[in-house]
Amino acid sequence: MTTFRQLLKGRFAVLGVVVLVALGSLTARLWGMQVLSGSTFAAAAEGNRIREVSLPAARGRILDVKGRPLVTNRPVMAVTAPATISQDTTLVAHLASVIGVPVDEITKRLASYKAERLAPRVLKLDVPMQTAAYLAEHSADFPGVAVEESAVRVYPGGSLAAHVLGYTGEISETQLASGALPDAKIGDIVGKSGVEASYDKVLQGEKGFRRFEVDNQGRVRSVLDEGAPRAGKDIKLTIDRDVQKVTEKALADAIAEAHRQGFTKAKGGAAVVLDVKTGAVVAMASAPTYDPSIFLGGIKQATWDALNAKSSEYPLNDRVIQAAYPPASTFKAVVAMAGLQTGLLTPSTTFNCPGFWTGLGRQWGKWCWLHSGHGHLSLIGAIEQSCDGYFYNVGKRFYQAQGEKLQAFARTLGLGSKLGIDLAGEVPGRVPDAAWKKAYNQNYPEYQQWLPGDTVNMSIGQGDLLVTPLQLASAYAALGNGGIVVRPHVLDAVLAPDGTASVESSVSVVSNAHLTPANLATLRHALVGVTTVGTGRGSFVGFPISVAGKTGTAQVAGKDDYALFACYAPASAPRYAIVVIVEQGGHGGSVAAPAARQIMAKLFGKKYKTIHTTDVSR
């Protein structure tokens, strides 16, 4: 009896030590985890239970210059669900039939982005009340699916001013990466073009947030904290809705007129109305156009492809700022003023136009558009009749005078570089000179030298010269405004919540050509002559307002001629500058000029009847 106790003593000690080691190592490990690294685990626990989603702010409205809505918002019911429901194929199939969105589309939307696992994806933006009610009643059958209030853009005018307004869409990966919108998150709706893009920060407002406590399944248990979103500000544009409507109609009518005259390839064009003194864009039309509402809730791939197909003539492009054309004879006003300002011309400078110009030698001879010739013409007559022969001579004089004075003057009028309008995508156009030609033909040494013929071609607005419709309108505004080029803009004011202007646009001068009153008067005389006795006469017969304008018919390789008209009016006290261009529309005098008159009739409150004139001039 006593012997076994002796034997066991040491063994109990071993057993005791084993127990102590076991409990001791547990204690040591717990000390490390709970006391030494407790805060790390506490942070992980917080990360487990707290989820944050952002609350979108209502986007600001876009109004016309008189405060009439161009873009507003409409409350809608949106069906949303977190990405996690995609595992439940029965649920997705059921949901697809209820909201009328194919299963593929739902799966695609749920998988759209990896981040923000819990952020609900919009599956359908605008569901009818019955569908919303059905989902609410049967919410037990649709775990995770929610019907939320949302808002979509409404375009009261349909496609009216689509290019100025632009469209909205989910932020792209590239936009996110660019850092231009630092507060933006995946899934945000942002402006993609037009004013929606250039004033996105103003329209966007400030997002709110909501912090939830969630369980291990990601189900929301309670709302911890919430910050209300701050709505975006309304902005007022310089666009006048009524003038815009007429401008778009005039452009469409001009294209139809081109077809009537046999120019059946005419499809695209541009028209713009500028306020001469302020640079405000009163109207801006680009054809063909599109309906911005097709982008709501995500554009369908097929629609997007169609809008970007070559045959579509690219309706998303705003030709007023994104297309550059040869200005053709409308540039003669610039050449004439350049000649007057530099002293190379006087009002009485006279040349003879025999129809075929041989000023650079017979082998370099050039036809005037009027092959029979205009005979002896002064500067004013040459502009009125758009005589090419006369301006070939002027071009030769500029070449001989050296110093690229014509180019320099054109640049002072804002050509050849971006004007800085508050819309994205403006292109600079091109005022060619010797340096440009050398660089442009760097791989073709034989074409690098600037030749007299280059200046001669440029003096009738052809050759390598390219201008945007906006630049041309701005240049004509400057010609009517003493040579002051003001920056064109579409923003009139940013409105505070009470409707008063919190930011107002101001006149910003781009450059000043310092035109002398005498030269201004000479050019005005000539341009008014165009619409009274010259190449634009037919379109302005009986028009009560005196218009200083110039027709143009541009030759583009491989295409029908482009019809152009540029003007400012009233001639004596200019208020508006207008440019109309119809691609492959034929003659400026009979296609573009009537459109300009149609727009002006609206601007000055005059009646307008469709004009059909015949004109073969350039």
Partner 1 sequence: MRAPLSRILRDRVHAGVVLSTVALVVFGGVMVWAATVTMSGHAALVQRQLLGVGIGVIALVLMWVLDYQVLKAWTGPLMVALSLLIISPRIPGLGASVSGATSWLQIGSIRLFQPSEPAKLLFIVVMAAIIAEYGGKLDKTPDILKVVGLASVPLMLILLQPDLGTGMVFVAIASGMLLVGGMRARWFAVFAVAGIVLVLAVFALNSVLVTSMNKPDGVLIKAYQVDRLLVFVDPTRDPKGAGYNLQQSKIAIGSGGLTGAGLGMGSQSRLNFIPERHTDFIFSVLGEQLGFAGAVMLLALYLALMASALSVSASSRDLFGALVAAGLISMWAFQILENMGMTIGMMPITGIPLPFMSYGSSFMVTNLAGVGMLLSIWSRRYGTTTT
Q: What are the residues binding partner 1 (CB under 8 A)? A: 1, 3-5, 7-9, 11-12, 14-16, 18-20, 22-23, 25-27, 29-31, 33-35, 37-42, 44-46, 48-49, 213-217, 221
Least distance CB 33 / partner 1 (angstroms): 4
- Closer to partner 1 by CB, 12 or 367: give it: 12
Least distance CB 13 / partner 1 (angstroms): 10
- Which of these, 603, 485, 618, 602, lies nearest to 564 by C-alpha position? 618
- Closer to partner 1 by CB, 14 or 573: give it: 14
- Closer to partner 1 by CB, 24 or 354: give it: 24
What string of H, E and C letters represents the secondary structure of 36-73? HCHHHHHHHHHHHHEEEEEECCCCCCEECCCCCEEEEE
Tokens of 91: 């649920």
- Rounded distance between C-alpha atoms, residue 522 and residue 264, angstroms: 38
HSE-CB at 359 with a 13 A cutoff on CA atoms is: 26
Which ranges of 275-316 does DSSP label H, i.e. alpha helix?
301-307
- Which of these, 588, 579, 581, 617, lies nearest to 325 by C-alpha position? 581
Least distance CB 208 / partner 1 (angstroms): 24
Least distance CB 23 / partner 1 (angstroms): 5
Least distance CB 7 / partner 1 (angstroms): 4
Least distance CB 248 / partner 1 (angstroms): 57
Least distance CB 132 / partner 1 (angstroms): 30
Least distance CB 219 / partner 1 (angstroms): 9
- Closer to partner 1 by CB, 115 or 129: give it: 115
- Which of these, 240, 270, 238, 275, lies nearest to 576 by C-alpha position? 275
Helices 517-532 and 332-342, packing angle to 10 deg: 150
- Closer to partner 1 by CB, 15 or 533: give it: 15
- Closer to partner 1 by CB, 16 or 354: give it: 16
Cα torsion at 276, 278, 281, 283 (round to 10°)?
Answer: -50
Angle at 365 between CA 361 and CA 370, to 5 degrees: 140
- Rounded distance between C-alpha atoms, residue 167 and residue 292, angstroms: 5
Angle at 36 between CA 33 and CA 39, to 5 degrees: 80
- DSSP label at residue 312: G
Pairing of strands 269-275, 576-582: antiparallel
- Closer to partner 1 by CB, 30 or 111: give it: 30
Pairing of strands 62-63, 235-237: parallel
DSSP bridge pairs for 503: 494
- Closer to partner 1 by CB, 35 or 140: give it: 35
- Closer to partner 1 by CB, 212 or 576: give it: 212
- Which of these, 115, 116, 84, 80, lies nearest to 101 by C-alpha position? 80
Least distance CB 223 / partner 1 (angstroms): 14
Least distance CB 155 / partner 1 (angstroms): 45
Least distance CB 419 / partner 1 (angstroms): 57
- Closer to partner 1 by CB, 46 or 104: give it: 46
DSSP string, 407-452: HHHHHHTTTTS----SSTT----B---HHHHHHHTTT-GGG-S--H
- Rounded distance between C-alpha atoms, residue 52 and residue 68, angstroms: 38
Least distance CB 205 / partner 1 (angstroms): 33
**What are the backbone angles phi and psi of residue 390, rounded to the nearest 5°?**
-60, -45
- Rounded distance between C-alpha atoms, residue 548 and residue 115, angstroms: 59
Least distance CB 44 / partner 1 (angstroms): 5
DSSP string, 179-231: TSSTT--TT-EEE-SHHHHHTHHHHH-B-EEEEEEE-TT--EEEEEEEE--BP
- Closer to partner 1 by CB, 26 or 136: give it: 26
- Closer to partner 1 by CB, 35 or 302: give it: 35
Q: What is the CA 475 to chain-centroid distance, rounded?
A: 21
Q: Exposed, middle or buried: residue 465 (CB in 10 Å: 0-12, 13-18, 19+)?
A: buried
- Closer to partner 1 by CB, 11 or 607: give it: 11
Least distance CB 29 / partner 1 (angstroms): 5
- Closer to partner 1 by CB, 20 or 509: give it: 20
Angle at 254 between CA 250 and CA 256, to 5 degrees: 115
- Closer to partner 1 by CB, 4 or 444: give it: 4
- Which of these, 566, 536, 548, 591, lies nearest to 385 by C-alpha position? 536
Least distance CB 4 / partner 1 (angstroms): 5
